Structure formats: C-alpha cells, structure tokens
A and B are shown apart, each in its own frame.
Chain A
C-alpha cells in the first residue's frame, strides 16, 4: 500500500475467548503502578 502502513494486523482477540481467561497472568496494578490500571501492557503466561 502506498498511503497506509499496517503496523500490526488483527490481534485476533476474539480467538482468545476459548483459550483465554486462565488467570495465570500478573494482577494489573501489582507490578509497578499501584494507582492506575493498564492492562494492555501485561504479558500472557501462555505464550
């Protein structure tokens, strides 16, 4: 494409419905902040 550069394609979030939700990942505000909530920067334990 000439005008658009796709940095990342679909995350396929919908596909995570079946395998997701194991809950083994870190609690969102436990790691560094303690005063806000950002989930987008958390890592999945199953990848």
Chain B
C-alpha cells in the first residue's frame, strides 16, 4: 500500500506546483473555438490551434516523450513535436512563461501623494428614484443638499494646491443629479477656467446625468465646456423603466431617449458615454447593449449592479454562468458589427494591447483616496464617490489643509501586489486589483476583492482579448 500512497502524494504535489508556478505565468482560454494564450508578465497574446492548446496542459513541466504519449490518440507525433518546437522558441524569446519581476516595484508606486481628479457631488438630491441607486436615491444616506459655489470653488483651489506638477486635472460633476444645481456647475467651471493658466493646469470636465433635465441651452453649454458626458440609460424600455422611474413611479425611457439622442448628435466628435446598469432582472443584458447600439450610440458602457447581496436584484455566484454566456454572445455580435463597419465601443471590451498604461499605473489601480477623491456638498472629502456617507472614511474637508493620512496610506498601500488573491491572478495587470469600494462593501476589507466582480471582470477581459485577436 506504501507505493501507491507515495505515488498519489507525488501527483498531488506536482499538480499543486503546476497550478502555483506554471499556470500563474500564462492564461489560456477558448471562446467559440478561438484559442487564446496570454503570457501574463510580458503581455504577449497568442492565438493558437487546438493542438497547441492541448499541449499546454502538459508543457513545459512534462518531457516531450510524455506529452506525445499523452496526446498520441488525438494528434500525430510529428505535429506535437512541431508545436513543442514553436513553444520552445517563444519561451526563448520571453514571450511565454516569462517571469514576474514586478514585486520589487512595490516601493516605487504611488509615492507621490498628489491629487489629480475630484468627483464633485454637486447635488445630494435626485429628481428620479432608481431602485438600485448606491446613493440612496441621491441623498447618500444623509440630508438632501446642494453644493454651494463657495464649496465648489474651494474644492478647485484644494485640487490645484494638492496636484503638484500634474498639469491635467479632472473634475466630474456628479450627484445625485447635478443638473438640479446647474448654475453652481457653471460657476465652478468659469472659476476653474479663469485660474487654470496662471497655475499651469488644464481642467477636464465631465458631467454624469440622468438626462431628464437636459434642455437645448444646457446641451449647448455642456458641449461647449465639458470634455465628457456620461448619460444614464439601462437599455430597452422594459429594462430601463423597471429600475429607473420618476418619483411617481413612471418610467423615464420615453423622456430620456430623445434627449440623449439629441445630446449625442450635437456632441460631434467630443467624448460621451451612454451608461447603463444590469441587475438580476435583466441578466440577459446583451440585448440591452445591442438595443443602445441600435439607437445609434457608439460609446456604450453597461455595468453589473453593485449592491447589498440581500437585495432581490443583486447578482450572485449562481448567475455567473449565464452572465458569462451573455458576455460571449455580446462579444460575437460586437465583432460582427465591427467587421461590417457598423461597430460601436463597449467600455469593457476596449483594451490596448500595444501601448496602454505604464506598469506603475497598472499596479496602483484606480487611485481612490490618493490621486482621486470625492467631495460632498458640504466640502467633506472621501476616498471616492462610493464611500461618501460612511463616516469611517471621512478624510477631512476642503476647508482644512490636511487630509487624514491614515486613510490615505491605507488606500495607497492597497495596490494589486498587496492583495493576496490578486498576486497570482492572470488579470492583475488589467484590473489592477479591482474596485476598493466593492471589496469593502462585500468583505469589509479593501484588500479582499469582491469575488463575483472579479469573475465578471476576467470574462470581460477574455472577450476583449479574443476581439482584439480577431480584429488585428
């Protein structure tokens, strides 16, 4: 009995070692018989045939003869040998199984505590009542309130003072619904524009709106002054109106669609996004993305809902297989439309395989609590818009010169290399550790990522890589 036990032990150990060391260097996947291999550390992407895909179940830890032996019933020995030669060549060129040497960088990232982006909560109030709103229908669990021009201008001063040598500064007008306080938005834009040159800064403004209050005059102002606009709509009428309704319970679709169309039409070549949320109620969300594309929108983002798992519309682990199929279905349609010159951009399928961000950016992630902060109507500062209202995360005020350094440091330290679950994940250079707020909401710890979110992110990245492989 001793020998089989030792043999079993050997199998378990070698399987463990393969999982830990070999599979943490590459990621292979198959979508619709398109076989892709990503070399995680170099970023090289390979499209392979099925023989190569199968050989990689054993390569490089099994000798050539053993691999041939294992696969000889499916492929002939000559083909397997050819594959192994090609794989050897890629390994020699450091395009496959390349080593991770990024660990030494932990001390080099996020060293500069400069702020470059603020999310201004212009209105903690909203004129509609979306069931899934993380801002508690606009008030962020506090009193309904509007930001004053004084607070807004002070926030601009605070950003300039804390931005060091950064030239490009971002300001997002957010809510609640910022159009409820549009005169203050205009005041803040005008103030920032007046002082940007003397401070050697370039402000980039974005506004996020539910579109219900858009008028011709407001649209013109936004087109003249905002670098980007995010327009909220969830998809088709049924989907949108189920979650996004007025205070009287009426759907918003018929009101917002013509306004969003007009806004986008007037936008010309300036940036915009139509942005929706999907929940358990429209888990077949690919139809909603396609519906938005069919309306003529070219820049689309539809995101999974982030909410308390107890909510009836929350997404859960059991929904993942269906959601994965939806992403794949969307990816195929997306590709087909791109190839027929009727394509659109889906935010999470966009990926730059050739340039993209530097390693520091990839390791440090979203920058919440350090380079990015959210500011309430009263001038209180939080690490990002999703932490607003949770007093444990109050970092100070625009009326004070200092930020809470303990919170700032906790977020600074929360880079992808410090998160156990991320350190061996193949997607770590693309998601950069994920959303801190999601991690905290689900696990009460910004260092423990939200599993369901991670799985969806990985599926989106696989689709994005597959799409790039097919388009190039």
Contact = CB atoms under 8 A, between A and B. Distances in A.
- Asked if A pairs with B, the answer is yes
Contacts of B429: 13, 39-40
A41 B350 contact: yes
B74 interface: no
Nearest to A9: B44
Interface stretch (B146-154, B241-249, B352-360, B390-398): B352-360
Given A1-B86, A27-B170, A40 B356 contact: yes
A39 B365 contact: yes
B273 interface: yes
Contacts of B357: 20, 25, 39-40, 42-44
Contacts of B52: 3-4
B168 A17 contact: no
A36 B360 contact: no
Interface residues of A, number: 42
A6 to B, nearest CB: 5
Given A7-B472, A23-B112, A35 B355 contact: no
B209 interface: no
Interface string B109-124: 1001010110100000
B82 interface: yes
| Residue with the highest number of chain B CB atoms closer than 10 Å, among A19, A26, A41 | A41
A19 B105 CA distance: 14
A14 B431 CA distance: 18
Interface in A15-47: 16-17, 19-21, 23-45, 47
Interface in B201-218: 204, 206, 208
Contacts of A13: 41-43, 102, 358-359, 362, 429
Contacts, number: 217
Given A27-B371, A28-B432, A41-B356, 12 more contacts: A3-B79, A3-B82, A13-B43, A17-B359, A20-B359, A24-B166, A31-B347, A32-B301, A35-B306, A37-B434, A43-B352, A43-B355
B167 A16 contact: no
A17 to B, nearest CB: 6
A37 B131 CA distance: 23
B309 to A, nearest CB: 15
A11 B87 CA distance: 19
B87 to A, nearest CB: 8
Contacts of B228: 31
Nearest to A46: B358
A41 to B, nearest CB: 4
A7 to B, nearest CB: 4
B468 interface: yes
B453 A36 contact: yes
B160 interface: no
B94 A10 contact: yes
B459 interface: no
B86 A2 contact: yes
Nearest to B301: A32
B101 interface: yes
B150 to A, nearest CB: 24
Contact of A32 (B101, B275, B430, B464): B275
| Residue with the highest number of chain B CB atoms closer than 10 Å, among A10, A28, A33, A42 | A28
A32 B43 contact: no
A20 to B, nearest CB: 3
Nearest to A2: B82
| Residue with the highest number of chain B CB atoms closer than 10 Å, among A6, A11, A25 | A11
5 closest A-B pairs (Cβ-Cβ)? A20-B358, A40-B430, A11-B43, A21-B360, A16-B358
B308 interface: no
B301 A33 contact: yes
Contacts of B351: 40-41
A45 B228 CA distance: 17
A20 B230 CA distance: 29
Contacts of B455: none
B303 A8 contact: no
| Residue with the highest number of chain A CB atoms closer than 10 Å, among B46, B117, B384, B429 | B46
A29 B435 contact: yes
B284 interface: no
Contacts of A33: 275, 301, 303, 347-348
A30 B170 contact: yes
B361 A30 contact: no
Contacts of A42: 352, 356-357, 361
Interface string B271-313: 0010101000000000000000000000101011110000000
A38 B460 CA distance: 10
A8 B353 CA distance: 7
A26 B114 CA distance: 14
B366 A4 contact: no
Contacts of A21: 108-109, 358, 360-361
B412 interface: no
